Copies of this chain bind each other. A is one copy, B any other.
Amino acid sequence: MTVSNVMNGKPGASEETRRRVLEVAGRLGYRPNVSARNLKGGRSGLIGLIALDLTSQYGLEILRGVADELADAEQELLVNASYHDAAREKDRVEFLGRGLVDGVLMIAPVLEDETVKLLRRQNLPCVIIDPRRLEVPLPRLSVDNYHGMRQGTQHLIDLGHTRIAYIRGEEDLESTSVRFQGFEDAMRLAGLKVDPRMVASCDFSYASGFRTATQLISEHRPTAIVAGADLMALGAVDAARASGLDVPSEFSVVGFDDLPQAAQSFPGLTTVRQPLHDMGQKAARALLSLIEGQKLLMEHMEVGTQLVIRNSTAPPRRGAEG
Beta-carbon contact of A121 and B266 below 8 Å: no
Q: Cβ of A77: which chain B residues have Cβ within 8 Å of it?
A: 78-80
- A38 contacts partner chain B, Cβ-Cβ < 8 Å: yes
Closest chain-B Cβ to A4's Cβ sits at a distance in Å of 15
Q: Cβ of A52: which chain B residues have Cβ within 8 Å of it?
A: none
- A10 contacts partner chain B, Cβ-Cβ < 8 Å: no
For A66, give the chain B residue with the smallest CB separation: B54
Q: How many of these chains are in the complex?
A: 2
Beta-carbon contact of A99 and B54 below 8 Å: no
A residues 261-316 near B (Cβ < 8 Å) are 261, 264, 266
- A241 contacts partner chain B, Cβ-Cβ < 8 Å: yes
Beta-carbon contact of A81 and B67 below 8 Å: yes
Given A31-B98, A77-B79, decide whether A54 and B63 contact each other with a Cβ distance below 8 A.
Answer: yes
Interface residues on A, range: 35 or more
For A31, give the chain B residue with the smallest CB separation: B98
Cα A80 to Cα B79 in complex, Å, equals: 10
Interface digits, A206-236 against B, CB 8 Å rule (1 contact, 0 not)? Answer: 1100000000000000000000000000000
Closest chain-B Cβ to A241's Cβ sits at a distance in Å of 6
- A100 contacts partner chain B, Cβ-Cβ < 8 Å: yes
Beta-carbon contact of A97 and B31 below 8 Å: yes
- A85 contacts partner chain B, Cβ-Cβ < 8 Å: no
Beta-carbon contact of A67 and B54 below 8 Å: yes
- A32 contacts partner chain B, Cβ-Cβ < 8 Å: yes
Beta-carbon contact of A99 and B55 below 8 Å: no
Q: Cβ of A98: which chain B residues have Cβ within 8 Å of it?
A: 31-34
Given A36-B39, A55-B57, decide whether A242 and B266 contact each other with a Cβ distance below 8 A.
Answer: yes
Q: Cβ of A55: which chain B residues have Cβ within 8 Å of it?
A: 57, 60-61, 64, 260
Q: Cβ of A34: which chain B residues have Cβ within 8 Å of it?
A: 44, 98-100
- A238 contacts partner chain B, Cβ-Cβ < 8 Å: yes
A residues 167-216 near B (Cβ < 8 Å) are 206-207
Cα A63 to Cα B80 in complex, Å, equals: 11
- A76 contacts partner chain B, Cβ-Cβ < 8 Å: yes
Q: Cβ of A54: which chain B residues have Cβ within 8 Å of it?
A: 60, 63-64, 67
3 closest Cβ pairs, A-B complex: A35-B38, A238-B266, A31-B98
